[in-house]
Amino acid sequence: MAELSRRERKKKETREKIFSIAMRLFRTQGFSATSVEQITKYADVGKGTFYNYFATKEAVILEFSKLTCQDLINNGRIKSGLNTRERLKNLLQDWAEFMIKDREIAWVTVKNREGADYDLSLHYGLLAIITVGQQNSELCREYDAAFLAESLEGMMIQHFIRWFVTGMGDLKEELNNALTVFLDGLSESQSRA
């Protein structure tokens, strides 16, 4: 791998500095209370420099969310010997921990789920687990894996939104229940078994 030029290194350092300072400010004083001016002041860069790297404050959050989801997916890959249900449960529980820990940041991520900048890491992580589950005959092959991943992701997002807006309930427990419904269905024969 070729070394970065001095200019490329400087650009990378500047981007990382803006990103880390923005995230620190978002966590300490809140997303809404943090301005681009504050970020650039603490990063010791001009406002235009911020916009060279991030189109908006939300773009910083989406970058953070992307990195976090990729970490969650990669951490799940490291765990061997788990069946599909266990892999999905672990991913949902890890995702819930992130959403609970960084509640306001998670909310900004969910509100900005549309458009070209939307990160599909979570979707692709779910898709990979479901595809392997179908290949291993742990999950029904009647439905397309992408459809199933979208359906589960939709359930996850909806439970997060309800939890965030109402401030009630245990997000981890709700996601675990949603996963049970997703995997086991709602038929009476399933609930009696």
Q: Are residues 26 and 85 in the same domain?
A: no
Q: Are residues 44 and 64 in the same domain?
A: no
* pTM of the predicted structure, to 2 decimals: 0.81
Residue 16, judged by CB atoms within 10 A of its CB (0-12, 13-18, 19+), counts as: exposed
Q: Give the number of domains in the chain.
A: 2
Q: Which domain holds residue 129?
A: 57-192
Residue 189 has pLDDT above 70, yes or no: no
pLDDT in tens, 86-116: 999 999 999 999 999 988 888 988 887 765 5
Confidence of residue 80 (pLDDT cuts 50, 70, 90): confident
pLDDT (mean) for 112-123: 71
Q: Are residues 127 and 178 in the same domain?
A: yes
Domain boundary among 12, 30, 54: 54
Q: Are residues 121 and 181 in the same domain?
A: yes
- Here the CATH number for the domain that contains residue 4 is 1.10.10.60
Range with the poorest average pLDDT among 35-39, 81-85, 185-189: 185-189
Q: Are residues 87 and 40 in the same domain?
A: no
Task: Report the pLDDT value the prediction gives residue 115, as an integer from 0 to 100.
Answer: 59
Quickly tell me which residue has 């672990």 as its tokens.
90
Confidence of residue 48 (pLDDT cuts 50, 70, 90): very high
Q: Are residues 29 and 108 in the same domain?
A: no
Q: Are residues 133 and 41 in the same domain?
A: no
What phi and psi, each to the nearest 5 degrees, are found at residue 156?
Answer: -60, -50
Q: Are residues 78 and 122 in the same domain?
A: yes
Contact 24, 72 (CB under 8 A): no
Domain boundary among 39, 54, 69: 54
* CB-based contacts of 70, cutoff 8 Å, min separation 6: 121
Q: Are residues 155 and 172 in the same domain?
A: yes
- Here the CATH number for the domain that contains residue 69 is 1.10.357.10
